[in-house]
Amino acid sequence: MNDCLFCKIIKGEIPSTKVYEDEYVYAFLDIAPQAPFHAVLVPKTHIASAADIDESNSFYTAKIYEAIGKIAKAENLEKGFRVVTNCGEDGGQTVGHLHFHLLARRYLQWPPG
Ligand code: 5GP
Ligand code: ZN
């Protein structure tokens, strides 16, 4: 857990551009944006991936979706947005701390590649 990149970002040990923060959630701009607006939302507790969400920690995911609504209003994303969680090797997850990509301000193709 000490080596977790997103735990370090939450603690401020690695700098990030904050988009939103509360007791349970931290959101920051992605370093390699895939859309004109691309934030990453993480729970302020180490959960490895979406496969590790269970009854003991699903509260954090609820708080993340509450935060998404607040960010969408604050950032005027009324045209829409996409929330993506990559999980595991086939899902393309590269950082082992549960996170939700919030992508907006361009038309997003469906299905993704
Ligand atoms: P994943 O590929 O696991 O779904 O998403 C990880 C995301 O974290 C990627 O979009 C990547 O650009 C972003 N990322 C990786 N390292 C850093 C960093 O040091 N700072 C920020 N702001 N984003 C990062
Ligand atoms: Zn972590």
Per-residue pLDDT of the chain (113 residues; tens, 9 = 90+): 579 999 999 999 999 999 999 999 999 999 999 999 999 999 999 999 999 999 999 999 999 999 999 999 999 999 999 999 999 999 999 999 999 999 999 999 999 87
Q: What CATH code is carried by the domain that includes residue 48?
A: 3.30.428.10
Residue whose C-alpha is closest to residue 40's, from 113, 105, 103:
103
Q: What is the number of the ligand closest to the CA of 19?
A: 1
The label of the residue with tokens 């969408």 reads 72
Residue 66, both tokens: 């509450």
Report pTM. 0.98
Q: Whose CA is nearest to atom 24 of ligand 1?
A: 31
Q: Is residue 22 part of a domain?
A: yes
In the chain, the number of structural domains is 1
Q: Is residue 96 part of a domain?
A: yes
Q: Is residue 110 part of a domain?
A: no
Residues flanking ligand 1, CB < 6 Å: 5, 14, 16, 28-32, 40, 86, 92-95, 99
Q: Answer whether the bond into residue 36 is a cis peptide, omega within 30°.
A: no
Q: Is residue 76 part of a domain?
A: yes
Q: Is residue 113 part of a domain?
A: no
Active site residue 97: no
Atom of ligand 1 nearest to the CA of 14: 19
Structural domain boundaries, residue 16:
5-104
